Amino acid sequence: MTPVEQLFTAFNTTADLLKEELSCTYLEALAETGENMFQGTVLQDELNEVAKKRLEKVYKDINLEAFSREDIRKGFQLAILKGMKEHVQPNHQMTPDSIGMFIGYLVNKFIDKKSFTLLDPAVGTGNLLATVLNQQTGKEIDSVGVEIDDLLIRLAFVNANLQKHPVEFFNQDSLEPLFVDPADAVICDLPVGYYPNDLRADTYEVKVKEGHTYSHHMFIEQSTKHAKDGGYLFFLIPNGLFESEQAPMLHEFIKKHLIVQGVLQLPSSLFKNKQAAKSILILQKNGEGVAAPKQALLAELPKLSDGPAVNRMLNKIDVWFQENKTTEK
């Protein structure tokens, strides 16, 4: 068995057992078993001795210290995917690895500080955040994750603990006032849809005069508010972001507060259909010494399985960096 398979098996057998014993869902049980593994003990007092012994045996046999963070992330991710099949949650899809890896690569390229802060205001299961963090080798990063769904944030919390990532979590609506310090970088797989609270939306610059405002537009505004001057923002956006009837307000907001560094269209093979296809939007918040690139980085990313095409793209991005990165970091 590969290390990821060993980890998945440990998460899976113990989550199945807890699901039965506690009469809860698989994902709830997964959060419980992850917490047990992190604490090194069985925390559920209501369990009978036999169940407790069976769990302890699995925990004893799997030595987390022997695995890399990426192995732990992938093993946990496989178990989450299994749980999500049981309960389909259309608005709670985990950010796929290939996209997370690419955002991680960009964060690495754009931010060359040795220590920085990172915010994900729609952290979900924490998979995107962990994928990005695991690629920033030799850097010290304090992160903040915000998520409205209490089960997802529990999974994100366990995920971060098992991988020993210092992350502060807030279980709340990110579009309500956020009490977090401005971050050097924001990453977000934007939740797309209408925001139901018009009173709150009224406090946003991207609000529409009539009807509900798009929550993804509000997320961009809120993220900008919580980024430092000169900070970078990496959003996973629907391809039609700038073409909707609400787009003029977003354009206005971006023009006033941000610089577009790039838009990278992801390969359509990653998505169910053309309408679902997404891009990565790279923005920088205005600030002293921040200048627009001579030309924004615009590209269509190749299929990630096409090695030579990916290499050509990475070279193209390198050339763009040499020609355009005028800002001091």
Which residues of the chain form contacts with ligand SAM (CB under 6 A)?
Answer: 91-95, 122, 124-125, 127-128, 146-149, 152, 173-175, 189, 191, 215
> Can you say how many angstroms the Cα of residue 203 is from the centroid of all Cα atoms in its chain?
26
**Contacts by residues 12-16 (CB-CB < 8 Å, ≥ 24 positions apart):** 12/78, 12/79, 12/82, 13/58, 14/55, 14/58, 14/59, 15/79, 15/83
* Cβ distance to ligand SAM smaller for residue 147 or 221: 147
* Cβ distance to ligand SAM smaller for residue 7 or 175: 175
* Cβ distance to ligand SAM smaller for residue 40 or 90: 90
| 3-class SS of residue 87 | coil
DSSP 53-69: HHHHHHHHH--GGGS-H
Please state, in angstroms and rounded to a whole number, the distance separating the CA atoms of residues 26 and 24: 7
Q: Smallest distance from the beta carbon of 1 to ligand SAM, in angstroms?
A: 25
Within 8 A by CB and 6+ apart from 314, the residues are 105
* Cβ distance to ligand SAM smaller for residue 14 or 125: 125
* Cβ distance to ligand SAM smaller for residue 152 or 264: 152
* Cβ distance to ligand SAM smaller for residue 222 or 261: 222
Q: Smallest distance from the beta carbon of 148 to ligand SAM, in angstroms?
A: 4
Q: Smallest distance from the beta carbon of 52 to ligand SAM, in angstroms?
A: 31
Contact indicator for 76, 162 with CB cutoff of 8 Å: yes
Please state, in angstroms and rounded to a whole number, the distance separating the CA atoms of residues 167 and 169: 6
Phi-psi bin for 170: left (phi > 0), alpha (psi -120 to 50), beta?
A: beta
> Can you say how many angstroms the Cα of residue 116 is from the centroid of all Cα atoms in its chain?
17
Contact indicator for 304, 311 with CB cutoff of 8 Å: no
Q: Smallest distance from the beta carbon of 282 to ligand SAM, in angstroms?
A: 17
Q: Smallest distance from the beta carbon of 223 to ligand SAM, in angstroms?
A: 11
* Cβ distance to ligand SAM smaller for residue 150 or 328: 150
Q: Smallest distance from the beta carbon of 173 to ligand SAM, in angstroms?
A: 4
Q: Smallest distance from the beta carbon of 317 to ligand SAM, in angstroms?
A: 22
Determine the residue type at 30: L
| Whole-Å CA distances, 320 to 30, 112, 138 | 43, 16, 25
The residue number with the shortest CB distance to ligand SAM is 124
Give the residue among 41, 9, 34, 29 at the shortest CA–CA distance from 126.
Answer: 34
| 3-class SS of residue 3 | helix
Q: Smallest distance from the beta carbon of 125 to ligand SAM, in angstroms?
A: 4
Please state, in angstroms and rounded to a whole number, the distance separating the CA atoms of residues 5 and 18: 20
